[in-house]
Amino acid sequence: MKAVVLAGGKGTRLAPYTKILPKPMMPIGDLPILEILLRQMKRAGIDEAILTVGHLAELMQAFFQNGERFGLPIRYSFEEQPLGTAGPLALVEGLDATFLVTNGDVLTNLDLRNLIDFHRAEGGVATIAMHERKIKIDLGVIQRNGGNAIIGYIEKPTYEFHVSMGIYVFEPRVLAHIPRGQYFDFPDLVLRLIEQRERVIGYPFDGYWQDLGRADDYEQAIQEFETLRPQILGEG
């Protein structure tokens, strides 16, 4: 089974760090984020990882090479121009069976094998790993009737959402819905699949997950990693 790691973004929200390092190479403890993902993939039985690269690609190639020292074959798919989050998949050769896709900046103790098994059991064309997030609004929220008349007032509410973890399992036929060589994001792909009456599944996960796109989330992940390291890396 193949896994695609989306590693071509510029990581602008983590600047200035990402001016000299691609975001997937930012360190968490003593390891780059991407190495943590690769170790999790190997443990889940992934046979090959394909890195979609663009920004500072040569640094990732120099460090990860062909994956021999990680025990997981690695190859590279190059973006000459930014193609969004889903667009790079159209350029990857050999995705002819169920495959995993993940952002290159995700820290989680999600068991990828469980996610893959869930996808196969549900029989969908796509499965999105999802996490519940609670957003507190520290202000009074005014409800209107569509004009200026106020019909409700909620003091400092908390809203709950299920958010994408940036980890997916796909069947090969999703590739037919991705335009080749064009900028195309995952929300566009999901909406297109739904429009075409394809079965898209959500996999609820209540364990540890942190998106590392922002500096404050990255700093928090560094602090939490040492405690969670055995769960994240399957050590011990």
Segment 159-174, tens digit of pLDDT? 999 999 999 999 999 9
| Mean pLDDT to the nearest integer, 184-203 | 96
The predicted-structure confidence for 28-49, as pLDDT tens digits, reads as follows 988 999 999 999 999 999 999 9
Q: Is the pLDDT of residue 153 over 60?
A: yes
pLDDT of residue 188: 96
Pairing of strands 158-170, 126-136: antiparallel
Residue 17 has pLDDT above 60, yes or no: no
Single pTM value for the model: 0.89
Average pLDDT over residues 200-223: 90
Under 8 Å between Cβ of 36 and 28 = yes
**Per residue in 141-150, pLDDT tens?**
999 988 889 9
∠ CA 197-86-75 to the nearest 5 degrees?
A: 125
| Mean per-residue pLDDT, 209-230 | 87
For residues 107 and 209, is the Cβ–Cβ distance under 8 A? Answer: yes
The answer to whether 224 and 212 have CB atoms below 8 angstroms apart is no
- Residue 138 covered by a domain: no
Our CA angle for 114, 209, 199, nearest 5°, is: 50
Give a yes or no: residue 198 inside a domain: yes
Q: Is residue 52 part of a domain?
A: yes
H/E segment holding residue 119? helix 112-122
Q: Is residue 226 part of a domain?
A: yes
The region of weakest confidence among 19-28, 67-76, 168-177, 210-219 is 19-28
- Asked if the structure places residue 169 within a domain, the reply is yes
CATH value at residue 99: 3.90.550.10
Structural domains of the chain, count = 1
Quick check: is 196 in a domain? yes
- Whether 183 maps to a domain, the answer reads yes
Which residue segment(s) compose the domain that 28 sits in?
2-130+162-233
More confident residue, 22 or 41: 41
136 domain residue, yes or no: no
Which of 126, 133, 101, 123 lies closest to 205, judged by CA? 133
CB 225 within 8 A of CB 107: yes
Whether residue 54 is predicted with pLDDT greater than 90 in this model: the reply is no
Find, among 101, 49, 83, the residue nearest to 178 by Cα. Answer: 83
CA 232, CA 72: separation in Å to the nearest integer?
A: 18
